[in-house]
Every structure is written in C-alpha cells, then in structure tokens.
Amino acid sequence: MTDEELAKDLGPLAALTIGIGTMIGAGIFVLPGAAVQQAGPLAAAAFVLGGVIALLTAMSASELGTAMPKSGGAYYYINLHVADDRDAGEQFLREWADERGLGDATLTVETGDVERAIESHATDASLLVVGATERGLLSRLVRGTVVMDVVDDVECSVLLAERSRARSIRERLFG
C-alpha cells in the first residue's frame, strides 16, 4: 500500500459501526439514568444536541478523509499543517528564558531519548534543576518516571521543583 492508495478492506456496515462505537462509547449504557434523574425531560434534548455535535464532527472527518485520502488519519492532517520547526521552538524558549532572567542558562531542545539528553548535558553541571510535573512525590518515586531515572543517573546535585500551589502536605506526597 502506498501513500497514494488506501486498502479498501472495510465495508459500509463495518465503517458505520466503528464510527458509532467511537462516538457513543460505553457511557451511553451507564449515564442515561443519572442524566434523566438530574435534568428530567431536558435530558432528551441534551442527547439530541450531543448527536448533532457528533454528526458535525463526523462530517468534518469525512471531508478531511475525502480531501486527503492517505493513511494516518488525524496524525497526517496535523502533520501536514503544523511545521516541524526546531529553530522556531528553540527561539521561543530562548526568548522565554530571557524574559524571566534566565538568559545565561543552558538551553537545549532535544527530541527522542529525554533521559539521555538531560544526562549528557548535566555531565559538567554542579546542580541540575528538574521541573516535576506529576502530582505527588510518592507517585513519582513509585512510577519510576523520567525525572527519577535522571536523578539516579546524574553525578551532580539535583533539585526537584514543582509549581507552587495551595495543596496540603498529603496532596503533595500522595498526589
């Protein structure tokens, strides 16, 4: 199969059932009772409105598929219209760092193996600051995330930083 030609293995019934299953999901079997209990007769109007929105979404996807008949779906459509411009990304990060007084910080944009990239740039560092985005300290330790892998592998001091939020100690530890 080439980029220009798609295999026609699905019939109309299979395509329809895949589309309906994707749009409806399992919630339709669980939530109608709760919806009717909360919204009363307006629940029917909410389901009709949801159906109209799903129909418009399906029509948009159909138009894209007809206009660009290539395998890949949404990934292909996004990649076609979003430039992979590494230089623009690095420039944005440099400007962002300068605005925040971090102009002298080493800026590196890596793709692929994030752990190896951080470790290779931290060889001569005396302190590595890593932004932790997961919710709890214990969840970070248990999951063995990239941050913890880097902490284990680098030879310098590591400071884990997280954005200041109004959270209790319990939330900070357990997520």
For residue 45, the model assigns a pLDDT of: 92
For residue 103, the model assigns a pLDDT of: 61
Contacts of 4 (CB under 8 A, 6+ apart): 70
φ and ψ at residue 31, rounded to 5 degrees: -90, -20
Shared domain check, 117 and 75: no
DSSP symbols for 94-131: HHHHHHTT-TTS------S-HHHHHHHHTTT-SEEEEE
For residue 9, the model assigns a pLDDT of: 78
Shared domain check, 65 and 24: yes
The residue from 57, 81, 105 where one domain ends is 81
For residue 49, the model assigns a pLDDT of: 92
Do the Cβ atoms of 127 and 159 come closer than 8 Å? yes
Domain count, the chain: 2
Q: Is residue 119 part of a domain?
A: yes
For residue 96, the model assigns a pLDDT of: 74
How far apart are the C-alpha atoms of 12 and 18, rounded to whole Å?
A: 10
Shared domain check, 76 and 123: no
Domain that holds residue 77: 12-81
User: What is the pTM assigned to this prediction?
Assistant: 0.38
Residues in the chain with pLDDT values less than 50: 1
- Report how far Cα 137 is from the mean position of its chain's Cα atoms: 21
> Minimal CA–CA distance to 106: which of 93, 88, 92, 89?
93
